[in-house]
Amino acid sequence: MEKKQENSFSLNGSVREIKITPETPDFPDHEGKAEFMSYCSMCHSLKYISMQPNFPRKTWEAEVNKMVAKYKAPIDSVTGKKIADYLVAIKSNH
């Protein structure tokens, strides 16, 4: 009697290749874009930012401050202001 292995399976058919290309949204040029692209992409996808609704300045500033305080993003206050200003310029309801 042949002992059958648990959790074994076989797959008949051809093998196909799937290529997945990461999608980076196209953000508009504005002062602070370089800092935004560099620092924010260190921890999360920039697509995440593109999916956010438009927020007022106060909310974007709070988000940047949260990334520094809670998640230890290596962003100094000058760079943080540039990033917040950029987010306000491209994704704000003023």
DSSP state of 83: H
Query: Is pLDDT of 10 > 60?
Result: no
User: Which superfamily does CATH assign the domain made up of 24-90 to?
Assistant: Cytochrome c-like domain (1.10.760.10)
What is the rounded distance in angstroms from the CA atom of residue 57 to the CA atom of residue 20? 35
Q: pLDDT class for 82, splitting at 50, 70, 90? A: very high
Query: Is pLDDT of 1 > 50?
Result: no
Beta bridge partners of residue 55, listed in sequence order: 92
What is the rounded distance in angstroms from the CA atom of residue 79 to the CA atom of residue 70? 17
Q: Where are the domains positioned within the chain?
A: 24-90
**pTM (2 d.p.):** 0.75
Percentage of the chain beyond pLDDT 70 is 78
Torsion from C-alpha of 47, 64, 85, 40, nearest 10 degrees: -40
- pLDDT tens track for 29-51: 999 999 999 999 999 999 999 99
